[in-house]
Structure 1
Amino acid sequence: MTHLASRGLRAAAMIASLAAAPALAQQAPADRDARGEYLARIMDCGGCHTGGALAGQPDPRLHLAGSQIGFGIPEVGVVYPPNLTPDPETGLGAWSEADIVRAVRTGVRPDGRVLAPVMPWHSYAALNDADARALARYLRNLPPVRNATPHIVGASETPTMPYLTVVVPGR
């Protein structure tokens, strides 16, 4: 093959890749949603935030829609994993992508409240920007599920809903 023919093939390949760019751009949102879904799965968001999961019976209709089973944390009280779907009444509907990224990485909600200590945000703080945004976009693109979860029960209050107890060794 001559040098000129080789350059011609490279030019043709470059033009073909440029022509394919719009098609790739159209696929990008699905790829981002797939990445976000993958991250939510390996981070086990559903292990706590899916109805029935903490009882070993996850309800697919309540996927990431919060739990009626909480975590009893000494000196904190009982916290219930909230609804992560974009439902405007019971979920993250009012949260922006940046709000979700901030909460996942820093453990602070948009209202300033710190997330419960059982939320492993310290580990999630290591997410790179692209992955943190992909996770947030995935959550924001879930079908909204109206599912109110119990409110936090203070350490001196009596919970009326089931919960798992977190025991701190040595206390």
Structure 2
Amino acid sequence: MYRLAFATVMALTSLPAIGHADVKRGEYLAAIMDCGGCHTPGQMLGKPDRSRFIAGGDVGFQIPNVGIFYPPNLTPDPETGLGKWSKADIIKAVTKGERPDGRVLAPVMPWHSYGRLNPQDADSLASYLKSLKPISNKVPAITPPQDKPASPYLTVISP
């Protein structure tokens, strides 16, 4: 009986606590989900600024008749990034495509795919983003279709 109880305690203590965020797992997920591909300045121009990793993209995505969207700063900077967002806010944005203010994320953000993250991985990703050094980097605002953008952009064209 003692051996069974000891084995059970050992097995349970080797499991992560429910809700425990694995920041390393989140770092791995951010890498394979290629967050830096869009959200790092200079990345889409072939000159990524590694000192500002995922601090917001400087190349936007134009969606005809909708506007131009620039990838936001994902660091926990309170003024230009996710610093005022809770982990739950980040998880909801990544998995449901909804910002804390209720707006839907830009259509180019692949949240439909990321919505398949299991709860532990979503928590790990959010924990990783919250663990980063805050970097102040304001990206260009959404440019309405009738306005001229101030920064480079890619165009999505439907056949």
After TM superposition, is the score higher than 0.5? Answer: yes
**Aligned with residue 45 of structure 1, among 21, 35, 42:** 35
Residue correspondences, number: 156
2:138 paired with 1:148: yes
Secondary structure of the structure 2 residue equivalent to 1:153: coil
Distance 2:34 2:155 in 1: 19
Q: CA deviation at 1:138?
A: 0.6
With normalisation by structure 1, the TM-score equals: 0.83
Cα gap change, 1:147 to 1:14, in 2 (>3 Å): same
Distance 1:167 1:111 in 2: 29
2:4 paired with 1:14: no
Matching residue of 2:120: 130
Distance 1:14 1:87 in 2: 45
| Structure 2 unaligned residues grouped into runs of 5+ | none
Runs of 4+ in 1 over 4 A off after TM superposition: 10-13
With normalisation by structure 2, the TM-score equals: 0.89
Distance 1:163 1:54 in 2: 10
| Structure 1 unaligned residues grouped into runs of 5+ | 1-6
Distance 1:156 1:62 in 2: 31
State the one-letter code of the partner of 1:124.
Answer: Y
Cα gap change, 1:133 to 1:16, in 2 (>3 Å): closer
Q: Per-residue CA shift, 1:23-72, capped at 9, x if unaligned? A: x87xx65xx01110111111111000011111122111110100111111
User: Sequence identity, in percent?
Assistant: 57
Matching residue of 2:158: 168
